[in-house]
Amino acid sequence: MRIMVTGGAGFIGSHTVDALVASGAGEVSVLDDLSTGKRSQVNAKATLYQTDLRDAAAVGSVVERARPEIIFHLAAQMDVRRSVADPAFDAQVNLVGFLNLIESARRHGLKRVVFASTGGAIYGEQDEFPCSEEHPRRPVSPYGVAKLATEAYLFFYKAEYGIDYLALRFGNVYGPRQDPHGEAGVVAIFCGRILDGKPVTIYGDGTQTRDYVYVGDVVRAVVAAAKSSASGIALNIGTGIETNVNDLYSTLAGIADFPTRAEHAAGRPGEQKRSVISPARAARELGWRPEKKLADGLEETFKYFKQQRALKLK
């Protein structure tokens, strides 16, 4: 099996590549522009193509060489705030980039796509908690709009060209290798501030909630999606458990034995108040369930960042 992982030098992508290589799934290639990913995180047994998805000619050249039968599309412009500030840039990466990829791949033997969608931004403010995949999709950011549009394009490519797909709507993924920049990196940001001995800033009153899911659990879902016969549907990949930011910080500060209380600043415009997704359909379709408890995952994540800090100081 010829496999391509876009964004394979990044947080979730590099863990996915490691899992695929370890399982002997096939010949693995990575497409990443290294704008946020790190070359050092790419598994030595995978072939790295440093390519920008917005460059149609370059993407076409890579796809012609790699000829992937399955693509794990994890590459993205993932900063919600940047998508609001610059919707055109977000669309160029998240929509045009995807189309450059799949248009080339469909001509070179592509059979299946596993797409990293979003279980937060795609639903907007929820009516039910946790919400199922049937919840109305009301994205309030260009990032969420682009993810929803990509799911629609995948439906088109299945209907027109017979390319199977699964869209995985991730909760707030955290864990080792997380990028400490952007909204999705809140756990990494907190870890960095604690290790620097600096106060943590929580925007708003801290009662806003998210569904925090450990990266190892997410990767199990991604790999299971590749093996599944399910096609043409979206699956929530989360825990179904709400955690507010105040409690998240309190747990992490306790793990780090960090006595400093968090500081609060004005809330960010447009931030969702509550977000939590039901993983019931993923359990039925993939046999997948989250396994890592939040406290245990936070402990492993903090340990990772502490070790990385120690290596840098040597």
Q: Which of 2, 12, 17, 10 is nearest to 105 (CA)?
A: 2
Q: In the block, which residue shows the tokens 């030098």?
A: 9
Residues facing 132 on adjacent strands: none
Question: Could you tell me how far CA 205 lies from the centroid of its own chain?
Answer: 26
From CA 115, how far away is CA 50, in angstroms rounded?
Answer: 20
Which is catalytic among the residues 123, 143, 212, 214? Answer: 143
Catalytic residue list contains 174: no
| Burial letters 64-102, b for 16+ CB under 10 A, else e | eebebbbbbbbbbbbbbebbbeeeeebbbbbbebbebbb
Would strands 27-32 and 47-50 be described as parallel, antiparallel, or unpaired? parallel
Q: Which residues of 261-278 are buried (b: 16+ CB within 10 A; e: fewer)?
A: ebeeeeeeeeebebbbbb
Active-site residues: which are they?
Answer: 143
